[in-house]
Amino acid sequence: DTEVTQTPKHLVMGMTNKKSLKCEQHMGHRAMYWYKQKAKKPPELMFVYSYEKLSINESVPSRFSPECPNSSLLNLHLHALQPEDSALYLCASSPGQGYFSSGNTIYFGEGSWLTVV
Amino acid sequence: TQLLEQSPQFLSIQEGENLTVYCNSSSVFSSLQWYRQEPGEGPVLLVTVVTGGEVKKLKRLTFQFGDARKDSSLHITAAQTGDTGLYLCAGYNAGGTSYGKLTFGQGTILTVHP
């Protein structure tokens, strides 16, 4: 089973709202990621968690706040977003952070479509 | 900054035709992954290549990693309409500040017409 589950599938929020995106994996992976993807463009890395600790923050605005409650869950809290933040938000996981090989591969969820109005 | 140049950006072909997508870089990658993504879905891993000169086959798809590990190609034989999607290559370099980061190519949007 190589499944990463994301909820909700679609989210529409106003610029003053607070909402959260959720991600879950049960593969025992210790690295989890948030990516942002605009239409027909490659994913852009936002955050990396390794062993439940924030490892990489790609200078993401503070209106995006990640949280890793445990090794299986990853949240992305959203507050005061802008319309340009509308995108597909992808969660991913891998056995470990770092050297990606045949044995350490990133698996992506189906994504959460976010529209900011 | 590592870059992966992916080409072509768009590819529109008839069912049954063959095609090749290329990813090129001036940097050496420890490994390279190919993904396929359908509209509204997340990227699905097709293959990971790690050894220079490696060739992997997945049914009608053939993946090759260059000898110097700076380039890779994806060849599809006898394309089918179900092959339509966005194809992404993503490279990883084990050194320095790239730890844990994939470098993505710009993607190839493939449309296979019946």
Q: Which residues of A35-64 are buried (b: 16+ CB within 10 A; e: fewer)?
A: bbbeeeebbebbbbbbeeeebbeeebeeeb
Predicted pLDDT at A105: 83
Question: To the nearest 5 percent, what fractions of chain B are helix, strand and coil?
Answer: 5, 50, 45
Report whether pLDDT(A24) > 80: yes
CA nearest B10 in A: which residue? Answer: A40
Residue B66: strand, helix, or coil: coil
Which of A50, A90, A100 is opposite residue B33, by nearest beta carbon?
Answer: A100
**Residue B38: C-alpha distances to residues A18, A117, B55 (Å):** 29, 25, 25
Q: Do the beta carbons of residue A57 and residue B103 sit within 8 Å?
A: no
Q: Is pLDDT above 60 for A14?
A: yes
State chain B's mean pLDDT as an integer: 92
Q: What digits encode the pLDDT tens for the residues B58-111?
A: 999 999 999 999 999 999 999 999 999 999 999 887 665 566 788 899 999 999
Taking the Cβ of residue A46 and every Cβ of chain B, the question of whether any pair is shorter than 8 Å is answered with no
List residues of chain B with CB under 8 Å from any CB of chain A: 30-31, 33, 35, 40-45, 48, 50, 86, 88, 90, 92, 94, 99-102, 104-107, 109
The pair of structure tokens assigned to A82 is: 């802008």
Chain A residues with beta carbon closer than 8 angstroms to that of B90: 42
